[in-house]
Amino acid sequence: MTVATLKTTPERLLARDRRALARLITWAENAHPRFPGALREIYGHVGRARRLGVTGPPGVGKSTLCNGLVSCLRERGSEVGVLAVDPSSPFTGGALLGDRIRMESHTKDPGVFVRSMASRDSHGGLARAAVDACDVMDAFGFDELILETVGVGQAEYDIVSAADTVIVVLCPGAGDSVQAMKAGLLEVADVLVVNKNDAPGADRLVSDLEDAVALRRESRDGWTTPVVRSSAGRGLGLEDVLAAVEQQRTFLGSAGLAARRRKMRVAQVQRTVGELLVQALWSDGCRVEFIKTALASGRPPYDVADEMRDQIL
Amino acid sequence: MTVATLKTTPERLLARDRRALARLITWAENAHPRFPGALREIYGHVGRARRLGVTGPPGVGKSTLCNGLVSCLRERGSEVGVLAVDPSSPFTGGALLGDRIRMESHTKDPGVFVRSMASRDSHGGLARAAVDACDVMDAFGFDELILETVGVGQAEYDIVSAADTVIVVLCPGAGDSVQAMKAGLLEVADVLVVNKNDAPGADRLVSDLEDAVALRRESRDGWTTPVVRSSAGRGLGLEDVLAAVEQQRTFLGSAGLAARRRKMRVAQVQRTVGELLVQALWSDGCRVEFIKTALASGRPPYDVADEMRDQIL
């Protein structure tokens, strides 16, 4: 049976048709009504790919590092899917320049697929869209998925939490790196990378990070986050980063990985139920009228919201 | 009765105690359980201040423009409250450098109050926190509120939509400005400002924006968005920006303003109800157990979410 004779998009995806891959990710991005049905058809093929989350402040060289990691993974024979998520939409260059400029060196490699996603395209549910897109790439058959994201608001946290391994990239000289540590990025890091390792202040940043890791009250899953140096622009340290990722994978084991993924799926369903309920809620025009009338009488918004909640539950 | 003898924080706010002002904004930011009660006490004093939203890509000079607008408004005798919201947390300088660096020239002026807010502090509800903080500043008695924000994701959209007038700031030479137009910023703009008007490309950007405004299918409230030039760093054009704001206010009239504010309040209550329901939902451990069991049997996440929604409604 050739690809041309297959009827549905999910069937074509499982037959490794790239156009079906692109279309299903677009469905995920747009919250297309056909996406849940499509996911049902491919869900049995989801779960084989390893998911690597890469995050950190702008300007630390995340994209260069990801580009280098893709090269290393390709040398090992892995096929790699990359999802670059830019929640700060629509202004920063990342997702706008997008697939064209990003990962230029890999554009002709059929073993690499790169896709950008910005929050303006995701209908308010960037974490939902990112996880769905990963499921699609996973079912397509990539061995490794890289999820690159900037920042650590709630949406970004939901996104990196969906990865099996989270790499947090920092670099010396950026005050942002210190802020990132304070802002809770350390808590989600399985591997800390100090990129631009040849810049002044790298040793200090490495030792600060090592201190911070040592002082951390609870390590995630009992794993001690290593601090790895790289200089991705010069192609240095990439293998060390991957070695640290491998060590974390070994430490986690199949039981630890399964536990982490179960947690991720529960969070995904909770988010989805929340979205569905809110949708159902306001499709009833009477509820909106009730709010308008209550507000018109001068009642404070939280009092109106409380009463409405009590009415519903 | 002196401030010292007043008992509650809301009472002290209404007596124009600055420490009460700071504390109530912190309550708003942290979603403190006492905030709704405090808002109830001051809500009768909310509604007098004019709320000006200022947004646009990073680097167009928003902060400099806001700083200049504050000076102009002060010269007119208005007291001004500024809320600088940085949803892209925790990396960009804005909210981190925060109150200390921002608005330096106004720090000693008792007629100006400046506060920064980043998404990491707002417990996931930046729009909620920003609107609540504006209500607090409004009840305190400021004549004008300036809400400065970067970007236009959903959170930022909710924030600028809460203003009576939205200024979108762009500048020549930034590719981002063109992207901003495409990404829907034009739709929320009541006044478009081309800042750095002396930079090359300003004429082109102005005429592009004027074309875009003319081509727009529906203008908000029937108002034609003007394009105003400024060079905030040199103190030029600030009065023109304020004049455009005044024109929009006159055009809107008291009925138009009231309609806009009603809409904002309805959206606020809807968001709050959604948050309250989601909270109530997952405080019931049985629901989480149901999700875990359903997922363990290999069912796709959307099917599990659908079933749970049907159970609840």
The per-residue pLDDT for range A28-44, each reduced to its tens digit, is 998 899 999 999 999 99
Nearest chain B Cα distance for residue A245, angstroms: 25
A123: left (phi over 0), alpha (psi -120 to 50) or beta: left
Q: Is the pLDDT of residue B93 over 50?
A: no
Could you tell me if A91 lies within 8 Å of chain B, comparing CB atoms?
yes
The stretch B282-296 carries a mean pLDDT of: 93
What is residue A92's predicted lDDT score, i.e. its pLDDT?
40
H or E stretch covering A215? helix A202-215
CA-to-CA separations, A255 to A245, A259, B263, B298, in angstroms, rounded: 17, 6, 50, 16
Could you tell me if A266 lies within 8 Å of chain B, comparing CB atoms?
yes
Contact map slice: B 146-165 vs A, CB within 8 A: 150-155
Q: Which amino acid is at A105?
A: S
Nearest chain B Cα distance for residue A76, angstroms: 31
Q: What is the mean pLDDT of chain A?
A: 86
Tokens representing A85? 């998520």
How many Cα neighbours within 13 Å face the side chain of A194?
Answer: 24
Which residue is associated with the tokens 């079906």? A20
Closest CA to B241 of B165, B152, B158: B165
Write b or e for each residue in B169-185: b if 16 or more Cβ atoms lie within 10 A of its Cβ, otherwise e.
Answer: bbbbebebbebbbebeb
Could you tell me if A293 lies within 8 Å of chain B, comparing CB atoms?
no
Q: Which of A40, A185, A277 sits opposite B312 (nearest CB)?
A: A277
B77: left (phi over 0), alpha (psi -120 to 50) or beta: left
**Which of A156-160, A205-209, A267-271, B48-52 reaches the highest mean pLDDT?**
B48-52
How far apart, in whole angstroms, are the C-alpha atoms of residue A208 and residue A181? 10
What is residue B111's predicted lDDT score, i.e. its pLDDT?
94
Could you tell me if B171 lies within 8 Å of chain A, comparing CB atoms?
no
- Whether B96 sits inside 8 A of A179 (CB atoms) is yes
Q: Is the pLDDT of residue B1 over 60?
A: no
CA-to-CA separations, A22 to A118, B2, B135, B239, in angstroms, rounded: 15, 68, 45, 50
Q: How many CB atoms lie within 10 A of CB A68?
A: 25
Could you tell me if B241 lies within 8 Å of chain A, comparing CB atoms?
no
Could you tell me if A284 lies within 8 Å of chain B, comparing CB atoms?
no
Which residue is associated with the tokens 């417990």? B123
Pick the residue with more confidence: A151 or A5?
A5
Could you tell me if A179 lies within 8 Å of chain B, comparing CB atoms?
yes
CA-to-CA separations, B62 to B58, B95, B173, B225, B239, in angstroms, rounded: 8, 13, 15, 18, 15
Nearest CA in chain B to A44: B298
**Cis ω before B33 (30° cut-off from 0):** no
What is residue B94's predicted lDDT score, i.e. its pLDDT?
41
The stretch B43-68 carries a mean pLDDT of: 91
Tokens representing A4? 């041309």
What is residue A181's predicted lDDT score, i.e. its pLDDT?
64
Q: Is the pLDDT of residue A152 over 60?
A: no
Q: Is the pLDDT of residue A80 over 90?
A: yes
SS3 B5: helix
- Whether B300 sits inside 8 A of A91 (CB atoms) is no
Residue B148 main-chain phi, psi, to 5 deg: -100, 130
What is residue A100's predicted lDDT score, i.e. its pLDDT?
40
Is B166:B186 a contact under the CB 8 Å cutoff?
no
How far apart, in whole angstroms, are the C-alpha atoms of residue A134 and residue A140? 10
Q: Is the pLDDT of residue B217 over 80?
A: no
Could you tell me if B295 lies within 8 Å of chain A, comparing CB atoms?
yes
- Whether B153 sits inside 8 A of A184 (CB atoms) is no
Q: Which of A57, A292, A302 sits opposite B39 (nearest CB)?
A: A302
Residues of B in Cβ contact (< 8 Å) with A292:
262, 266
- Whether B265 sits inside 8 A of A295 (CB atoms) is yes
H or E stretch covering A176? helix A175-180
Nearest chain B Cα distance for residue A75, angstroms: 34
Q: Which amino acid is at A161?
A: S
- Whether B280 sits inside 8 A of A308 (CB atoms) is no
How far apart, in whole angstroms, are the C-alpha atoms of residue A138 and residue A52? 12
Closest CA to A148 of A172, A166, A121: A166
- Whether B308 sits inside 8 A of A269 (CB atoms) is yes
Tell me the pLDDT band of A81, cut-offs 50, 70 and 90.
very high
SS3 A33: coil
SS3 A266: helix
Nearest chain B Cα distance for residue A301, angstroms: 6
Tell me the pLDDT band of A136, cut-offs 50, 70 and 90.
very high
Could you tell me if A220 lies within 8 Å of chain B, comparing CB atoms?
no
Q: Is the pLDDT of residue B299 over 90?
A: yes
pLDDT tens digits for B153-174?
566 677 888 899 999 999 997 6
Nearest chain B Cα distance for residue A253, angstroms: 19
How far apart, in whole angstroms, are the C-alpha atoms of residue B129 and residue B123? 9
Residues of B in Cβ contact (< 8 Å) with A88:
87-88, 150-151, 153
Pick the residue with more confidence: B271 or A94?
B271
- Whether B87 sits inside 8 A of A302 (CB atoms) is no
What is residue A183's predicted lDDT score, i.e. its pLDDT?
60
CA end-to-end span of chain B: 53
CA-to-CA separations, B243 to B187, B213, B220, B250, in angstroms, rounded: 21, 19, 19, 10
Could you tell me if A34 lies within 8 Å of chain B, comparing CB atoms?
no
Nearest chain B Cα distance for residue A211, angstroms: 21
- Whether B91 sits inside 8 A of A306 (CB atoms) is no
Pairing of strands B80-86, A191-194: unpaired
Dihedral sign, CA of A154, B287, B273, B138? Answer: negative
A184: left (phi over 0), alpha (psi -120 to 50) or beta: left
CB–CB contacts below 8 A, A to B: 191
Which residue is associated with the tokens 């074509």? A12
Best residue of A181, A269, A272, A275 to probe chain B, by most B CBs closer than 10 Å: A269
Is A41:A8 a contact under the CB 8 Å cutoff?
yes
Dihedral sign, CA of A303, A284, B254, B216? Answer: positive
Burial (CB < 10 A; 0-12, 13-18, 19+), residue B189, is buried
Residue A118 main-chain phi, psi, to 5 deg: -120, 160
Nearest chain B Cα distance for residue A269, angstroms: 5
Residues of B in Cβ contact (< 8 Å) with A303:
36, 40
What is residue A57's predicted lDDT score, i.e. its pLDDT?
77
Tell me the pLDDT band of B219, cut-offs 50, 70 and 90.
low
How far apart, in whole angstroms, are the C-alpha atoms of residue A167 and residue A197? 16
How far apart, in whole angstroms, are the C-alpha atoms of residue A136 and residue A139? 5
Tell me the pLDDT band of B67, cut-offs 50, 70 and 90.
very high
Q: Which of A43, A93, A151 sits opposite B88 (nearest CB)?
A: A151
SS3 A145: strand
Q: List Cβ neighbours of A303 (8 Å cut-off, separation of 6 or more).
A: A294, B36, B40
Could you tell me if B47 lies within 8 Å of chain A, comparing CB atoms?
no
Could you tell me if A267 lies within 8 Å of chain B, comparing CB atoms?
no
Tokens representing B278? 């989601």
Could you tell me if B89 lies within 8 Å of chain A, comparing CB atoms?
yes
How far apart, in whole angstroms, are the C-alpha atoms of residue A92 and residue B57? 8
Q: What is the mean pLDDT of chain B?
A: 86
What is residue B150's predicted lDDT score, i.e. its pLDDT?
73
Residues of A in Cβ contact (< 8 Å) with B175:
93, 96
* Percent of chain B at pLDDT exceeding 70: 83
Nearest CA in chain A to B183: A90
